[in-house]
Amino acid sequence: SVTPHEGSFAHPEMQKLFDVKIVGEDVVSEGETDVKSDAEKKVEDGTTESSAAATEVSVTEATATTEASATTSTEATSVDTDKVPKRKLACLVSFLGSNYSGFQINSLTKSLHAEIELGLYRAGLISKSNFGHPNKYSWSNSARTDKGVHAAAQVCSFKGEMIYHHEIDGFAKQLDAMREKVNECLPDDVRILDFERVTRTFCARTSRDKVRYQYMVPSFLFCSPDEARKAFA
């Protein structure tokens, strides 16, 4: 199995450290769903042996089995049709960085990436098997802000589940509903401003053409010592 990133809230240590509860959303490691217990294997083996020991199967039973298989096949086709599609998306993010170690996800620290990932997971845009594995949902961000730094509009990209594909007509309306859903799962100091569909090869980091940083300082720093003293006298 693959352990989630140590900076993701999918990791048990991060949940303990920052008191994050993921109620009813137990995270599984990759491949865990395919692993069967010894008891299950024994039951299966016993069933197989019993089947092998049987020497006669009536025509009626064979027909019933064939019909059941056909029904199962039809149901499987229906499930495939209802499967939620994934699309490469760009999102515009705004945040106050005062309560975060920075944007980049890092081991056992509260980062903005980890907070956004948790919101995407809780909203259903990231699956349980991908939660905690940024490379599996093709995550990329256009800039890496430091501790305490804010952003008015930062672009990120990822592969997300179109959770309203079967409920809402129109791609733009689906994306708007997804934005509202994710924001419900995020703290007040982080907002998703917009979602846009992009090409499969789009990468927020390599597709950018420029990055603008704005530094804000108190105006009195540009005053002479005498003027500053007068201002605060």
End-to-end CA distance of the chain: 65
How many CB atoms are closer than 10 A to CB 109? 17
Residue 191 backbone dihedrals phi, psi, to 5 degrees: -130, 140
Mean pLDDT for the chain?
82
> In residues, how long is the chain?
233
Strand ranges for the chain from DSSP E: 86-95, 140-141, 151-161, 190-197
Residue 51: predicted pLDDT: 42
Tell me the pLDDT tens digit for each residue of 34-45: 344 444 444 444
- Does the reported pTM lie above 0.75? no
pLDDT confidence of residue 216: 77
User: Of 146, 169, 209, 226, which residue is the catalytic one?
Assistant: 146
Profile the chain (233 residues) by mean pLDDT over runs of 10 residues. 92 96 61 43 45 44 51 47 89 97 96 98 96 97 91 95 95 97 98 97 90 80 86 80
Task: Specify the pLDDT at position 215.
Answer: 80
45 is catalytic: no
Q: Which amino acid is at 154?
A: Q
What integer pLDDT is reported at residue 222 of this predicted model? 86
Rounded-to-integer distance, Cα 176 and Cα 63, Å: 50
Identify the pLDDT of residue 86.
96
Token pair 């905690």 in the structure block, residue = 132
